[in-house]
Amino acid sequence: MFMHKRNGFTLIELLVVIAIIALLMGILMPALSRVKKMAKTIGCRSNLREWGIYFSLYTNDFDQKFQPGIETSGRPGHTNHWFNTLRPYYNNDKKVLCCPTATKPIDADADGVADNRLNTFSAWGIFNAEMDEGYDPGGDWGSYGINGWVEDPPPDVAIVYQNFETSNNWRTPAVRYAAYVPLMMDALRFNVWPLDTDTPSPTEDEAWEAYEHMRRICLNRHDGYINMVMMDWSVRKVGLKELWTLRWHRTYNTANGWTSAGGVLPGQWPDWMRKFADF
C-alpha cells in the first residue's frame, strides 16, 4: 500500500501558529508603540534645536536683543511676535512649528480666547491674515510657545496685558543664568508669561485659563515631561513639576509654594500629576 504525502497543516497546527502570532503581536505592539512615541519625542527636540539656532541667528543680527513681541506701530497685530519676526530664518516651514505629538490645529477666536476643545495634544491656531496683521496668508499654527519674559518690548511699554511688568524681562540671551531660563517649549499657546503664583491645572486635558500661564505648558506630552530650549540654546526635557523651579523672569521666586524648596507636599498636586517626578 502506498502512503499519501500530506500537503497541508492540520487544524490544530493552524491554531497553534495563530496563537504564536497573536502572542508575538501582544509582545511587540507595546514595544512598537514606545518606539513610535520615542521617535516623536526625538523629533520634537530636533525642532527645538532648530529654534535655538533661529533665535541665536536673530539675536546676532539684532545687537543681542530678542524680538519686541508686541506691536510698536500702535496697531493691533502680531508682526513682532516670534513666528512672524523669525519667518525669514525658518523659511515659513510649518513642520518646525509643531511638536510631532501635536500637529492638529484647533481654531480659536480671533481675540485669542482658548477653544474649549484644546487638550494636551492640540496645536494652537489656525490664525490667518484676515484676523490680524502679522499672520501668514496661508495661516499660522503650532504647538510651541515662547517665554514672553525673554522678549524685548519698547522701553515705554511698562506692562504687557494684565500684570506682566516688562521690567522683569530678560531681553537678551547674554545673562548669567541663561541655561536655566526657558526660551521656547511645548505649549497650547504661542506665548506664555508664567508667574510663581500660577497653579497647576486640576485635570490633565483642561484648556488653559487666561492668566494661569503655567497651565499653557504643564502638558503631559512626553510621559511627565515637556521639551524645552533654554536661553543658552541648549535643549532638554523638563519635568512638569520642575516648571515651577525655572528662572522664568528676573524676579521669579524659584522657591515658591509649588517647589520642594518652598515646601510643597505631594498631596497638594492634582491627582494626574502626583505620579510624576518631584523637583
Closest by CA position to 229, among listed 271, 189, 173 = 173
Contact indicator for 59, 7 with CB cutoff of 8 Å:
no
Which H or E run contains 184? strand 182-186
Give the pLDDT of residue 110.
Answer: 46
Give the pLDDT of residue 4.
Answer: 56
Return d(Cα 248, Cα 1) in angstroms, integer. Answer: 90
Please state the separation of Cα 85 from the chain's center in Å. Answer: 19
Which H or E run contains 225? strand 225-230
Cell 490667518 belongs to residue: 128
Q: 118: which 3 cell numbers?
A: 484644546
Per-residue pLDDT tens, the chain, 279 aa: give them.
555 555 666 877 777 778 788 877 777 777 667 778 889 999 999 999 999 999 999 999 999 999 998 766 555 568 888 999 999 999 999 999 999 999 998 765 544 455 567 889 999 988 887 667 788 888 899 999 999 999 999 888 888 777 789 999 999 999 999 999 999 999 999 999 999 999 999 999 877 777 899 999 999 999 999 999 999 999 999 999 999 999 999 999 999 999 999 999 999 999 999 999 999
